[in-house]
Structure 1
């Protein structure tokens, strides 16, 4: 388990998270993050070697909270695995209806850094997507779903496709449609009821 960040480092990451998610990493300067955190730029650079490290820390800080939220939606849903998977999408669609929702921060950051595949933030995003896929695979396998690993990957493709199309259309109906497709895939591979 990783050590908790110092209060100052956490303050910087919290400020960066708000700004990067709202405006994108390219539009936010280190000066703006320092100002939002109420610190000097020198203090920020004491905790982060570069803006690249700060961007990676922003995504790393989102990993576990995002996974915990999706796991909570999954567990809270009534019904079989198909219903539980659909509940993740239904809750994402609900969240996407909020005016400040900007789609998936991991995908948006990766898109901004598309020409830099080795960037630490791209690696952090890849780890997050793999963590979600592995978690989902284990949950489905534990509930008797056949070929859970391949199915989890297909569900991730549906989810990230829905996030991507939301950047263009801003219509949460796409997330709900992806959820129905994911539920159908689950029903085709295993027990619909627990």
Structure 2
């Protein structure tokens, strides 16, 4: 059975994903995207009112797939909570060793738009990072760790630091080092015991 032909908007977004991620948003023009998508520039403007609109849509299209992938790496990892958190970093290290890997698309876009804090894409990127942080917080709350919000924020800082440092040094080992640090943070929080007044995870089993 043949696959349905992607509509024009989907083709534009696919082309934008490939070009914006590989070359950066400032280096890519709407002409480049139209050519990559095999359509006219007029068609691009029919679906997206401006390049800024398309950059925003590009990040929106990456939001849920990325979050779903993080959750998958976490849930499928063997071991306890520290191992599951570390697995996210270790999988990023695997991805970073691929020649086409160019880092976190959200962070790279934020860097290119650093002088435009009100840009719609900046808001999408901030929301994406906050969703990841909130999800981690909920995972830590589920096992009654103390200060789950602070712990989740520390993990986010390690993750985004790893993304940036890998690009500087071109060395994926930094993601593994950050993963080990994240694992140690989670283990330390677990060793402090559950929140006062709540039964431990073991006693609830």
The answer to whether TM tops 0.5 is yes
SS at match of 1:117: coil
- Structure number, greater radius of gyration: 2
Q: Could you say which structure has the greater relative contact order, defined with CA pairs below 8 angstroms and 6 or more residues apart?
A: 1
Per the TM alignment, residue 190 of structure 1 is displaced from its structure 2 partner at its CA by 1.5
* Structure 2 unaligned spans of 5+: 1-5, 194-200
How far apart, in 2, do the equivalents of 1:9 and 1:174 lie?
37
* Correspondence for 2:122: 122
Aligned ranges 1:78-117 → 2 under 5 Å: 78-117=78-117
Per the TM alignment, residue 171 of structure 1 is displaced from its structure 2 partner at its CA by 0.3
* Correspondence for 2:71: 71
* Correspondence for 2:174: 174
How far apart, in 2, do the equivalents of 1:140 and 1:99 lie?
34
Per the TM alignment, residue 174 of structure 1 is displaced from its structure 2 partner at its CA by 0.6
How far apart, in 2, do the equivalents of 1:145 and 1:96 lie?
31
Q: TM-score, normalised by structure 2?
A: 0.89
Q: For the structure 1 residues 143 and 7, does the alpha-carbon distance in structure 2 shift closer, same or farther, using more than 3 Å as the test? A: farther
Per the TM alignment, residue 143 of structure 1 is displaced from its structure 2 partner at its CA by 2.5
How far apart, in 1, do the equivalents of 2:155 and 2:112 lie?
24
Between 1:144-153 and 1:173-182, the stretch displaced more is 144-153
After TM superposition, the runs of 4+ consecutive aligned structure 1 residues lying more than 4 A away are: 191-194
Aligned ranges 1:127-146 → 2 under 5 Å: 127-146=127-146
* Correspondence for 2:26: 26
How far apart, in 1, do the equivalents of 2:163 and 2:90 lie?
13
* Structure 1 unaligned spans of 5+: 1-5
How far apart, in 2, do the equivalents of 1:117 and 1:169 lie?
27
Per the TM alignment, residue 166 of structure 1 is displaced from its structure 2 partner at its CA by 1.3
How far apart, in 1, do the equivalents of 2:154 and 2:113 lie?
24
Contact 1:16 1:33 in 2 (8 A): yes
Deviations 1:14-68 (A, max 9, x none): 1100000000001000000011111111111011110001001000100000000
Aligned ranges 1:52-63 → 2 under 5 Å: 52-63=52-63
Between 1:137-146 and 1:105-114, the stretch displaced more is 137-146
